[in-house]
């Protein structure tokens, strides 16, 4: 048996959802640069689920379905008040709330493709409401009901703050949602596919994926980047902070990638938005720290920034709480997880690799009363 640590380079499935070829990322054949500049997040959701861009009427229908399904069962909002909400990480709350949603969905265990598509719409719509409602309830504020006349991006920011965002904030959030929507067989998507390949239900697949996204080597890195920027505090502290980290062989969050070698094509868009928004909101030091960190890490380690690096300063400048950065990643990535889950059901085979055994050789059972104390 040959073990490929971390399954690096292993091709574990076929998929028509997204591709990374020669450091170019496409969703169903569309370059993300093109989509980021031109599309709405709702169009991208449709693209990921159908592998084609929607017509005007198809887009209208999807928007209506998302709007109609955005509200949460009151019991889920009430449940938030039952745990020590100020101490709970919002990713843990999101993971739990998504699992609870299944308990309110009569179709949760109905496995036909139409029911699965309806569940996809419900989950896509409700994740944003969960994250925004949790963020408000923990501050003692009432949740803000979703508005059906706003774009997905604007409605999310509206539900978070209670104010309709300006065009710049809406555009930035729309782009960020597009850039995070899918990424081939990343760890959380693989987790979702492994889960539903047992023919478990869509809610189980998304709950499992949220758990995988939470870790700092994956989606959790954006919050970790913000923690680093906060610790550094100002541009003149960057050099000593980063050099010490690299000397101690510690990882600098937001850098490196398992697949990209020349660089993550999403980072340049987030970098541009970080520059613009940090200046506009009077916090240019967050961008200045970030570009100095990038210069040092790319110079010394040849590691370019990934999607999580500039998204941190960008979300910060939108006034978003730092521990919501990874939940917002999930609000977007659920579109990709759902596309992959539906694709997995369409052509399913149980995912079950092997392990090379490295434990003790054959042992003889000794009854407990005869075992020597150690
Ligand atoms: C949405 C996303 O999931 S994007 C990724 C988000 N995660 C992060 O930003 C966390 C920081 N980055 C990392 O931990 C890694 O680059 C990963 C996990 C993303 C991918 O890494 P892998 O392909 O598994 O590489 P691995 O962790 O084995 O590292 C290979 C070498 O590069 C070094 N390295 C990799 N990333 C970094 C980093 N961010 N900072 C410093 N050194 C790094 C490792 O220390 C290791 O060095 P060594 O060979 O001297 O021991
Ligand atoms: O693909 C990966 O390994 C991680 C990543 O960038 C993502 O999920 O967006």
Tell me how far CA of residue 145 lies from CA of 119, 197, 240, 333, in angstroms. Answer: 21, 35, 46, 22
| Res. 369 pLDDT band, cuts 50 70 90 | very high
**CA-proximal residue: ligand 1, atom 19 (nearest):** 257
Reported as a single tens digit per residue, the pLDDT across 110-163 is 999 999 999 999 999 999 999 999 999 999 999 999 999 999 999 999 999 999
Query: Among all ligands shown, which has an atom nearest to the Cα of 225?
Result: 1
Segment 171-193 shows an average pLDDT of 98
Q: How confident is the model at residue 230 (pLDDT cuts 50, 70, 90)?
A: very high
pLDDT at residue 303, as a whole number: 96
Give pLDDT tens digits for 209-220.
999 999 999 999
User: How many CA atoms, within 13 angstroms, populate the side-chain half-sphere of residue 293?
Assistant: 33
Q: Whose CA is nearest to atom 1 of ligand 2?
A: 186
Q: Which of 341, 111, 8, 318 is nearest to 207 (CA)?
A: 341
Give the number of the ligand closest to the Cα of residue 293. Answer: 1
- Residue 30 is classified by DSSP as E
The ligand 1 atom at the shortest distance from the C-alpha of residue 225 is 9
Active site residue 22: no
Across 277-301, average pLDDT: 97
Does residue 86 register a pLDDT over 90?
no
Q: Which residues line ligand 1 (CB under 6 A)?
A: 6, 217-219, 221, 251-258, 301, 303, 306-308
Rounded distance from Cα 251 to ligand 1 centre (Å) = 7
Question: How many angstroms does the Cα of residue 218 sit away from the middle of ligand 1?
Answer: 10
Task: Please give the order of strands across the beta sheet that includes 18-21.
Answer: 18-21, 24-27, 30-31
Is the Cβ atom of 266 under 6 angstroms away from ligand 2? no
308 catalytically annotated: yes
For residue range 13-57, list pLDDT tens digits in order: 999 999 999 999 999 999 999 999 999 999 999 999 999 999 999
Model-level pTM greater than 0.80?
A: yes
Give the tens place of pLDDT for each residue, 256-273. Answer: 999 998 999 999 999 999
Task: Please report the domains of the chain, with CATH numbers, ordered by start residue.
Answer: 24-215+324-346 (1.10.580.10), 221-317 (1.10.230.10)
């Amino acid at each position: 048996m040959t073990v490929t640590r971390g399954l690096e380079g292993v091709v574990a499935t076929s998929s028509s959802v997204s591709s990374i070829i020669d450091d170019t990322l496409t969703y169903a054949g569309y370059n993300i640069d093109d989509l980021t500049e031109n599309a709405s997040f709702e169009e991208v959701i449709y693209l990921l689920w159908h592998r084609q861009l929607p017509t005007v009427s198809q887009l209208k229908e999807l928007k209506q379905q998302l709007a109609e399904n955005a509200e949460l069962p009151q019991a889920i909002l009430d449940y938030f008040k039952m745990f020590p909400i100020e101490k709970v990480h919002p990713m843990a709350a999101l993971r739990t709330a998504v699992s609870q949603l299944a308990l309110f969905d009569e179709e949760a265990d109905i496995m036909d493709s139409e029911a699965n598509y309806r569940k996809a719409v419900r989950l896509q719509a409700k994740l944003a409401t969960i994250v925004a409602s949790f963020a408000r309830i923990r501050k003692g504020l009432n949740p803000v009901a979703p508005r059906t006349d706003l774009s997905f991006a604007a409605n999310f920011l509206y539900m978070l703050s209670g104010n309709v965002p300006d065009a710049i904030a809406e555009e930035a959030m729309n782009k960020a949602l597009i850039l995070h929507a899918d990424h081939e067989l990343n760890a959380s998507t693989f987790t979702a596919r492994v889960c539903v390949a047992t023919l478990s239900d869509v809610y189980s697949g998304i709950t499992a994926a949220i758990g995988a996204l939470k870790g700092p080597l994956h989606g959790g890195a954006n919050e970790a980047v913000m923690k680093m920027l906060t610790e550094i505090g100002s541009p003149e502290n960057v050099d000593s902070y980063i050099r010490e980290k690299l000397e101690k062989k510690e990882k600098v969050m937001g850098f490196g990638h398992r697949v990209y070698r020349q660089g993550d094509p999403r980072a340049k868009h987030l970098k541009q938005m970080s520059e613009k928004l940090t200046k506009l909101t009077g916090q240019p030091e967050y961008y200045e720290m970030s570009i100095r960190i990038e210069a040092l890490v790319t110079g010394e380690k040849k590691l370019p920034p990934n999607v999580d690096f500039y998204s941190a300063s960008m979300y910060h400048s939108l006034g978003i709480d730092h521990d919501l950065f990874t939940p917002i990643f999930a609000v977007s990535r659920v579109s990709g997880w759902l596309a992959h889950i539906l694709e997995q059901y369409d052509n399913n085979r149980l995912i079950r690799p092997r392990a090379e055994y490295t434990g003790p050789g054959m042992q003889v059972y000794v009854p407990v009363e005869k075992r020597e104390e150690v």
